[in-house]
Amino acid sequence: RPHGSQSLRNALMNSCNPVFIGLGQKIGKDKYYEYLEKFGLLQTTGIELTGEAKGIFLSKNKVGPVELATLSFGQRFEVTPLQMVRMVSAIANNGVLMKPRLVKQIIDNSTGEVQNIEPQEQSRAISENTAKQVLSMMESVVAEGTGKNARSSRV
C-alpha cells in the first residue's frame, strides 16, 4: 500500500489537474480572465431573478502562478448553477452565449392569449469550430472515458 509521497504521486497520475494546470500556464491569466468574461461568469446572467449572484473570483491583479494553477482545475472560485449551465450550453450551442429563460411561453387562461418568450443571443463566447471540438471531447468522456456514469439512458 503506497503512503506518503508515493500516494500523492499516484493521485496526481490519475488526476486531470496537472493537465489543466499546464493549460492554465500556457494561456496565462489574461486570456483565462478573457474567457471568464466571454462565458459570462464575471457578471449576472440578466435573468431577472431576485438575489441572482455573479461568480466570485479573485481580482486578476491578485492572481499569481499558484492561484492560476488552482483556478485552472476548478478551485478558488464560485459560480452559480445557472452560470454553469449557461456556459456549457454555449458550447453545445456552437459557441453562442444565450440569455437564460425559465419559461418558453406564458398562456393567459382566461383569454387564451399566448406570449412567447423568444431565445436571446447575448454574445459569441468561442468560435463554432472550438465549440464543436470541445463538445466532441465532452461527449467522448461520457461515452468512453471517466464520465460513463453520467451517460443518459436515452442516448
Write the DSSP assignment of 23-57 as a string of letters: HHHHHHHHHHHHHHHHTTTTS------TT----B-
Residue carrying C-alpha cell 392569449: 113
Percent of the chain with pLDDT over 70: 90
pLDDT in the model for residue 1? 46
pLDDT in the model for residue 7? 57
Interval 103-116: pLDDT, tens: 999 999 999 999 99
pLDDT in the model for residue 82? 92
Interval 25-55: pLDDT, tens: 999 999 999 999 999 999 999 888 888 888 8
Distance CA 32, CA 77 (A): 13
pLDDT in the model for residue 11? 52
For residues 44 and 52, the answer to whether their CB atoms sit within 8 Å is yes
